[in-house]
Amino acid sequence: MIIIGEKINASRKSIAKAILSHERTAIQQQIEKQDKAGAHFIDLNAGTGAGDEKQEIEDMCWLIDIALETTQKKLSIDSANPVIIRKAAEHIDNRRPWLINSVKNDDRILGEILPIAAERGASVIALGMDVIGVPDKKEERAAACREIFQKAEKAGISKEQIFFDPLVLPLSANFNNGKIALETLRLLKEEFPDIKTTMGVSNISYGLPKRPRINAVFMLAAISHGLDAAICDPTNTRIQKAIILGKMISGKDKHCRGYTRAVRKGEFETDPQKSDIKEVL
């Protein structure tokens, strides 16, 4: 399971504050925690909404510099703006493997971003949406991913560099959103077994109480439907347990070695006074 650490995101008040005031230590600490927790990519989102495009570019480059100095992990540049992506690519300057998070099926945007990815060797997350928005039907989301994949191949991007994202919308907005995301995930994996899949796991619980538990259970379900990578909080121990359990249940943990190793290390220990399912996830 590839983990894309989600915590450096300007939509979080504490991160937006740190970006706006250039609190370097606060950003470093979040990167270090995700690195230690096993993140493979560190996602960087500089969209505070407090300035113009020029300011967002400066903030993104500032985040990139901190990440390059703080961790050896790969970077994920979280922006749909081609200008931000190009400036980030120039700033990274091949110093670290990186990922573009993300693109929708929009010819104008794809025409600008895909050549950057091809030129710089960046991976790309292809969203199951187009210029109209996010479809309600799994077939239409899969079709959007398929078209992006075809255009990416024509641009010179290999299938190894593509991630499909079926899109996770909050259950609080529509109780069917989890089902649609999982069904789209399975559909994509059946048609493209060699293409990696990813999703923003924590989106599922937005607006609901006890979010970490919801996220963990959804992670387990997503792995069983073919999830290869997750944009999530790697410091969440429930998420870590869900990944271990999901891999085992889905036949991705040979002889259950990963699970038994985690048990021996005490990762599944519970309080005997509270020994119930809530303590497992």
pLDDT for 279 equals 54
CA distances from 138 to 105, 180, 200, 204 (A): 15, 6, 17, 16
Q: 3-37 pLDDT, tens per residue?
A: 999 999 999 999 999 999 999 999 999 999 999 99
Three-class secondary structure assignment of 143-202: HHHHHHHHHHHHCCCCHHHEEEECCCCCCCCCCCHHHHHHHHHHHHHHHCCCCEECCEHH
Name the CATH architecture for the domain at 2-239: Alpha-Beta Barrel (3.20)
pTM exceeding 0.75: yes
Tens digit of each residue's pLDDT, the chain (281 residues): 999 999 999 999 999 999 999 999 999 999 999 999 999 999 999 998 887 899 999 999 999 999 999 999 999 999 999 999 999 999 999 999 999 999 999 999 999 999 999 999 999 999 999 999 999 999 999 999 999 999 999 999 999 999 999 999 999 999 999 999 999 999 999 999 999 999 999 999 999 999 999 999 999 999 999 999 999 999 999 999 999 999 999 999 999 999 999 999 999 986 544 444 455 56
Contacting residues for 210 by C-beta, under 8 A, at least 6 apart: none
pLDDT for 276 equals 46
pLDDT for 177 equals 98
pLDDT for 280 equals 52
Residue type, 159: K
Q: What are the sequence ranges of the domains in the chain?
A: 2-239
Measured at the alpha carbon of residue 144, what is the angle toward residues 140 and 150, in degrees to the nearest 5?
135
Q: 58-92 pLDDT, tens per residue?
A: 999 999 999 999 999 999 999 999 999 999 999 99
Q: Give the side-chain half-sphere CA count within 13 A for 89.
A: 23
